[in-house]
Amino acid sequence: MTKVLVIGGPTASGKSGLAVSLAEALDGIVINGDSMQVYDGLPLLAAQPAAEDLAAAPHRLYRALAPDDPCSAARWRDMALAEIAAAEAAGKLPIIVGGTGFYLKTLMKGISPIPDIPQTVRDALNAQLAGIGNKAFHALLAEKDPVMAARLAPGNSQRLVRAMEVLVHTGKSLAVWQEGAPVGTPAHLSFTLVTLLPPRAQLYAQCNKRFDVMLESGALAEAAAFTKAYPQQTAAQVPLKKALGYPELAAYQRGDITLEEAKTKAAQSTRHYAKRQMTWFRNQLQADLVLESNDPQPVIRLLRG
């Protein structure tokens, strides 16, 4: 059996630092499992690993895709399996780390098989959404697929388009496909899941502090350059536009809100997202070990038995 260590948890919890410490201690390779960090374009706002972390241990699947090359859970799973195989061949411990719980669940538990959707179908629906707006597009989905529409918020452009494209191309609701038996992961992989769930007050303080550090490090200039590179595209076309803090900084740069309002709203969005992640990891995946801090020693003891 090939051992694979998986580290999950909310944003700003210290997962990346824990992964680097474990990679150094256990001769591992850190493999990204975060849906925003897989893209190039917003290294600060997407909380990409710092230069010292990249120097301390090998990292894979960070900045692997262009911002307008949308990634799905199934696509990420295939990329992750390739990196796990490469780590295995090199005699290294694969360490998957990220806060996108559905990605991690897809890797460990499998995913329902859904036919590939032609890019032309996706492009047409993205154009339709941009033309009529999210509210009208959501209403249209509700007419055609009330089950999926009830599950999705009108503001979630990427998932709205995903639900509609599956319906248009296959004639069946995404909900029907998701009820199918999942395609499992290779049987020779043995996963150990560690979740990092700090006390809520501590986590919220870390969320607030991290956004301040991002601003001090140049996040405003980064957001401005990204907006210039992708001025008209929607978040469905450029998923990285959903990176925590980017919508608020873009609103500030358009003159819609003040910088102080942008800081307040971005910190609040980060805290709300972290809270949802905490709930997801507690309820959706059974961890082998739950940590409140990013001390690597309990994980090392667990893996060494």
pLDDT at 182: 73
pLDDT at 116: 81
Mean pLDDT (whole number) for 61-84: 94
In degrees, to the nearest 5, what angle opens at C-alpha 139 toward C-alphas 134 and 143? 145
Tokens of 105: 């669940």
pLDDT digits (tens, 9 = 90+) for 194-238: 999 999 999 999 999 999 999 999 999 999 999 999 998 888 789
Tens of pLDDT, residues 140-187: 999 999 999 999 989 888 889 999 999 999 999 999 988 876 777 788
- pLDDT band at residue 299 under the 50/70/90 scheme: very high
pLDDT of residue 113: 78
pLDDT at residue 2, rounded to an integer: 92
Structure tokens at 77: 């799973």
| Cα angle, residue 108 at apex, residues 105 and 109 outer, rounded to 5° | 75
Residue type, 142: A
User: What does the pLDDT look like over 235-269, one tens digit per residue?
Assistant: 878 999 999 999 999 999 999 999 999 999 999 99
Domains recognised in the chain with CATH numbers: 2-111+182-304 (3.40.50.300), 119-178 (1.10.20.140)
pLDDT at 158: 82
pLDDT tens digits, residue range 49-62? 999 999 999 999 99
- The overall average pLDDT reported for the chain is 93
Contact assessment for residue 177 and residue 248, using Cβ atoms and an 8 Å cutoff: no
- The four Cα atoms 43, 49, 50, 54 give a dihedral, to 10 degrees, of -120
Percent of the chain clearing pLDDT 90 (strictly above): 84
Banded model confidence at residue 67, pLDDT cuts 50, 70, 90: very high
What pairs with residue 95 in β-bridges? 5, 30
Between 305 and 219, name the one with better pLDDT.
219
Rounded Cα distance, 242 and 172, in Å: 28
